[in-house]
Chains A and B, each alone.
Chain A
Amino acid sequence: GAGVSQSPRYKVAKRGQDVALRCDPISGHVSLFWYQQALGQGPEFLTYFQNEAQLDKSGLPSDRFFAERPEGSVSTLKIQRTQQEDSAVYLCASSLQAGGYNEQFFGPGTRLTVL
Chain B
Amino acid sequence: AQSVTQLGSHVSVSEGALVLLRCNYSSSVPPYLFWYVQYPNQGLQLLLKYTSAATLVKGINDFEAEFKKSETSFHLTKPSAHMSDAAEYFCAVSGVNAGNMLTFGGGTRLMVKP
**Chain A residues, Cβ within 8 Å of B4:** 42
The contact of A42 among B41, B43, B46, B107, by CB within 8 Å, is B107
Known contacts A42-B105, A42-B106; is-contact A99 B100 (Cβ 8 Å): yes
Decide if the interface of chain A is mainly helix, strand, loop or mixed. loop
B69 to chain A, nearest CB (A): 17
Interface residues on A, range: 20 to 34
Chain A's closest residue to B31 (CB) is: A100
**Number of residue pairs A-B, CB distance < 8 angstroms:** 73
The contact of A41 among B45, B51, B107, by CB within 8 Å, is B107
A59 touches B101 (CB 8 A): yes
Chain B 59-93, CB within 8 Å of chain A: the 1/0 string? 00000000000000000000000000000001010
A43 touches B94 (CB 8 A): no
B32 touches A101 (CB 8 A): yes
B45 touches A106 (CB 8 A): yes
The contact of B44 among A31, A44, A45, A106, by CB within 8 Å, is A106
B25 to chain A, nearest CB (A): 13
Tally B residues with Cβ within 8 Å of A.
28
Is B99 at the interface (CB under 8 A from chain A)?
yes
Known contacts A56-B99, A100-B97; is-contact A41 B106 (Cβ 8 Å): yes
23 A-B pairs with C-beta separation under 8 A: A3-B43, A35-B101, A35-B102, A41-B106, A42-B4, A42-B106, A43-B90, A43-B102, A44-B104, A45-B101, A45-B103, A48-B101, A56-B101, A91-B43, A98-B98, A98-B99, A100-B98, A101-B96, A103-B49, A105-B46, A106-B43, A106-B44, A108-B43
Residues of chain A whose beta carbon lies under 8 Å from any beta carbon of chain B: 3-4, 31, 33, 35, 40-45, 48, 50, 55-56, 59, 91, 93, 98-101, 103-109
